[in-house]
Amino acid sequence: MSAAVPRRAGVIGGGRMGAGIAQSFATAGAAVTVVEQDEAAAAKVRERIAGSLERAAGRGLLPAAPEEILGRLAFVGDVAGLPADADLVVEAVPENAGLKAKLLAAAERVVGADTVLATNTSSLSITELSASLARPDRFLGMHFFNPVPASALVELVVPEATGRAVVDRALAWTAGLGKKDVVVKDSPGFASSRLGVALGLEAIRMVEEGVAAPEAIDDAMTLGYKHPMGPLRLTDLVGLDVRLAIAEYLHRTLGERFAPPALLREKVARGELGRSSGRGFYTWDD
Ligand SMILES: NC(=O)c1ccc[n+]([C@@H]2O[C@H](COP(=O)([O-])OP(=O)(O)OC[C@H]3O[C@@H](n4cnc5c(N)ncnc54)[C@H](O)[C@@H]3O)[C@@H](O)[C@H]2O)c1
């Protein structure tokens, strides 16, 4: 698959993921329009991207000056401001099916016939989200990983209705970002979340059963199996609340093996959400 960069792209939601997706496409040369809720939110996204670009420049990782890349970004307060001639629009608002479906349908009414629509959902059914679209054949999951600029992977999640040419374009854009793709069928948790959550839940059950301390369980995976990070530290970074929500969804769709352990529910109820709250399986003071 030859690499390509969208000439124009849109990103709906400029949070942790949306900002990273916008930064990555702009760095590759695309003009990117970011949709955020209001001006204050847009200013925060711009600041977040500017800081990230400065750090990347300091490490010699940018093909152009940070100001030049920032100049490729535009911010609008509504999907109505998306450019009609965008090659690609990626939705990256919070994990709420109703909100995503509504915004994707609104985006579809604005963009041209040739625009590919994608969602960055980490667990929702792409097929169910596509029910709100007039043309599901131009829609797929482009699942990016956090932090997007530094991560090597995009998981392309492809429902049966998605056209082959659309998948080919998404593959070319993934290569254009310098990232590797994995292509998976639309099924609960895709490949990455399903396996990652399975490992994380089993590690939590092992803490619950007193098999070993979190550090020991993580060392078993990092030193024994060469994982870059142990499953409990990773759960802290992703957020215990985020992991619980995905586990509940996988429990509903794939069965008992994804039943969330009581310890996970208890920690979330106590507000021990991981790094974001300062405490999860580890204590975080940054
Ligand atoms: N955080 C991760 O590690 C990760 C990894 C892969 C995928 N995802 C998925 O990416 C999506 C976004 O996650 P995130 O962590 O970036 O969330 P986030 O809460 O950091 O960002 C969401 C952004 O969407 C904006 N938003 C909300 N409603 C909007 C609207 N109506 N119009 C425009 N913008 C709106 C919010 O202001 C916010 O900036 C979710 O579906 C999540 O499951 C997250």
| pLDDT digits 0-9 by tens, 133-174 | 999 999 999 999 989 999 999 999 999 999 999 999 999 999
Q: How far is the CA of 241 from the centre of ligand 1 (A)?
A: 14
CB of 122 within 6 A of ligand 1: the answer is yes
Structural Rg of the chain based on CA atoms: 19
DSSP code for 184: E
For residue 1, pLDDT over 70 is answered with: no
CB of 162 within 6 A of ligand 1: the answer is no
Report which of 230, 233, 262, 260 is spatially closest to residue 245, judged by C-alpha positions. Answer: 260
Rounded Cα distance between 229 and 67, Å, is 34
Strand order across the beta sheet in which 73-76 lies: 73-76, 31-35, 8-12, 88-91, 116-119, 139-144, 153-158, 180-185
CB of 86 within 6 A of ligand 1: the answer is no
Q: How far is the CA of 95 from the centre of ligand 1 (A)?
A: 7
For residue 286, pLDDT over 80 is answered with: no
Q: Give, using CA atoms, the residue closest to atom 28 of ligand 1.
A: 93
CB of 120 within 6 A of ligand 1: the answer is yes
Q: How far is the CA of 19 from the centre of ligand 1 (A)?
A: 9
3-state secondary structure of 47: helix
- Predicted TM-score of the model (pTM): 0.93
Residue 66 tokens read as 């940070």
Q: How far is the CA of 233 from the centre of ligand 1 (A)?
A: 22
Report which of 214, 216, 230 is spatially closest to residue 267, judged by C-alpha positions. Answer: 214
Residue 103 Cα: closest atom of ligand 1: 31
Q: What is the pLDDT of residues 215-253, one digit of tens each?
A: 999 999 999 999 999 999 999 999 999 999 999 999 999
Q: What's the half-sphere exposure (Cβ side, CA atoms, 13 Å) at 150?
A: 9
